[in-house]
Amino acid sequence: MELLDAMEERKSCRAFRPEAPNHETLVAVLQSAARAPSAVNLQPWRVWVGQGEELTRLKRALHRAYREQNIGCSPGGGRKAPPEADGGPGSFRDLGRVVEARGDAFGAFINEGSCNLYGAPVGIFCFTEPGEPVARRLDCGIWLAYLLLGAHARGLATCPVGLLADYQDVVKDALFVPENHEFACAVALGYARADDPVNSFACPRKGIDGVEWV
């Protein structure tokens, strides 16, 4: 797949098939992500991959934590789709319409779905080691972009899951991540359910509307 095609086609998946990619495919995706540039080539990302029973255990723990703490996704805590003027250009607002047409409550779909990684059979979790400056999170963001494009080029679907930053202690405990590591990002990964209408949704983009030419 051409790089520009992957950049144009890739979108977030919120309904996954249960079967997991094979180990060789996962390794290839992670090797692609490892090519990401970083400041002074420090490569500050430290990555845990959750699968099988361990990932199921983590999902259950995240659901328990969500029910206890009730911290939801932005905007509006993720409890309802925002009005026309809120959020990105047509992002949560239009997604809310698709979710409601699917017969689900928006808040439950987004928040509980995030805790369940939308049913993905693989969860990828990126951390930085203690003492790394906040600026190193930018390097992890670049790594994330490489991961998403590398997965798409191999026929895999992904969805970055930001809510888990609020439950990073749960993730660390379940995956045996050192307590002093700092959460950077999480990704749900697997194969998309082509028959689910939520996967037909793609957020519009601003394009170059936010660019200033000097």
Please give the pLDDT value at position 96.
83
What is the number of alpha carbons within 13 Å of residue 159 lying toward its C-beta? 28
Task: Tell me how crowded residue 196 is: count the other CB atoms within 10 A of its CB.
Answer: 18
Query: What phi and psi, each to the nearest 5 degrees, are found at residue 16?
Result: -115, 150
Q: Which residue has the tokens 């080029």?
A: 153
Q: Which residue has the tokens 């494009």?
A: 149
Please give the pLDDT value at position 85.
42
Please state, rounded to an integer, the average pLDDT across all residues of the chain: 90
List of domains in the chain = 3-71+117-199 (3.40.109.10)
What is the tens place of the pLDDT at every residue in 62-72? 999 999 999 98
Radius of gyration over alpha carbons of the chain, in Å?
A: 17
